[in-house]
Amino acid sequence: MSVSQTPPALDIAVRHRFPGFALDMSFTAPDGVTALFGRSGSGKTTLVNALAGLLKPEEGHVRVSGKTLFDSRSRVMLAPYRRRIGYVFQDGRLFPHFNVRQNLTYGRWFAARAGRRPQDAAGGFSRVVDMLGISHLLDRRPMTLSGGEKQRVAIGRALLSAPDMLLMDEPLAALDEARKEEILPFLDRTTREARVPILYVSHSVAEVARLATTVVVVDGGHVVRSGSPGDVLTDPRAVPSLGVRDAGAVVAGTIVAQHSDGLSEVRLTGGRLLLPRIEAPVGTGVRVRIQAHDVILAREAPSGLSALNILPVTITDLKRGEGPGVVVRLACAQDHLMARVTRRSADALALAPGLSCHAILKSVAVAPGDVWLAEPEMTS
């Protein structure tokens, strides 16, 4: 007796030709947040239009949780309104003549029109309002809201339309850094609790590292790399598409101590990190982004350094760029790190796959914005 398998949350394979540009992308992704990452002109918008039903590809298929939205072979092409996709644009696009409550209610009306009970939409009106922290905004008009507040309302409206998936097309691109920091915690919570697959389109490695469970890197109309953030973001061969300056890794750990000198101790699978104080209790899970240019390599265990973090690592891969730099991928037990060094240093240290060495990281090199809280560990 065969056991049926759950279909992937996203199953996309589309091909379409334009004058001077050809789109040919295929990938699957499980439930969670799939980050579609690429620079301008890489094909992100074209793929989004195909997913939303605004473009009919010449060939291929688009499926969401097993539901076929487009299939060139069977001639299926669902209209956009029948795809049940909650769309969040860069600029929110709220109805200016409605207050916040009415904008959200429109999402509930759309859910009812789609044949679903409004209370089924992402858990209900009250839950969405609470999750996004917008209860105090309900009677205000969009023109009185900040950019971050508008985006939170736009996300709420999309969730309350009872979508089969949520499509976020660079939702932070139009915001300044202060507004981004305002909305990111709410995005964190939304991506954890939305209960529907999310396609998050971005050209920001920091956003992808923080939010994604799956990363799809695209360039020139093709998928360059796809997989978990830990695998993709530390792949030296994906660095040219990700951007050398933003290269780095994300590691998961647990706070195991809060020291009196203002440092928090985080346990990783291959050692411990001392970081500027993280305002969370012992036992809290965290994710830490460590940028490649902040990691120093040493063949022998160093002593007499001001840097407090020294982790034993093994080189698993390295890539020499066209310039003076070399990107090195490192295994630290079950985690992966990345270092960026000069060719001269790589040659002097004879760096090569299989070599055991030490990764050195200053505590202050990790900014507070590169540490994110996860779920607390369960205790027995």
Tell me: do 135 and 171 sit in the same domain: yes
235 found inside a domain: yes
380 found inside a domain: no
Q: Tell me how far apart the alpha carbons of residues 362 and 370 are, in angstroms, rounded to a whole number.
A: 14
* Torsion 54-59-65-66 (CA) sign: positive
The closest of 32, 66, 7, 28 to 216, measured between CA atoms, is: 28
CATH (domain of 105): 3.40.50.300
Q: Residue 116: which pLDDT band, with cuts at 50, 70 and 90?
A: low
378 found inside a domain: no
Tell me: do 199 and 283 sit in the same domain: no
b/e for 297-330, b at 16 or more Cβ within 10 A? beeeeeeeeeeebbbebebebbeeeeeebbbbbb
Q: What is the mean pLDDT of residues 190-218?
A: 88
Domain count, the chain: 2
- Residue 112 has a pLDDT of 62
- Residue 376 has a pLDDT of 42
Tell me: do 231 and 328 sit in the same domain: no
Tell me: do 176 and 256 sit in the same domain: no
Tell me: do 210 and 280 sit in the same domain: no
Tell me: do 107 and 67 sit in the same domain: yes
Tell me: do 20 and 97 sit in the same domain: yes
- Residue 105 has a pLDDT of 87
379 found inside a domain: no
Quick: pLDDT tens for 74-103.
Answer: 999 999 888 889 888 877 789 999 999 999
**Domain closes at, from 242, 265, 297:** 242
Tell me: do 219 and 194 sit in the same domain: yes
- Residue 6 has a pLDDT of 83
Question: Per mean pLDDT, which range of 29-33, 272-276, 374-378 is the poorest?
Answer: 374-378
The token pair at 207 is 């956003």
Give the domain range for residue 188.
10-242
Tell me: do 154 and 24 sit in the same domain: yes
Tell me: do 270 and 237 sit in the same domain: no
Tell me: do 212 and 277 sit in the same domain: no
8 Å CB contact between 170 and 199:
no
61 found inside a domain: yes
Quick: pLDDT tens for 325-356.
Answer: 899 999 999 999 999 999 999 999 999 999 99
Tell me: do 111 and 58 sit in the same domain: yes
4 found inside a domain: no
358 found inside a domain: yes
**Domain closes at, from 199, 215, 242:** 242
122 found inside a domain: yes
CATH (domain of 330): 2.40.50.100
**Domain closes at, from 190, 209, 242:** 242
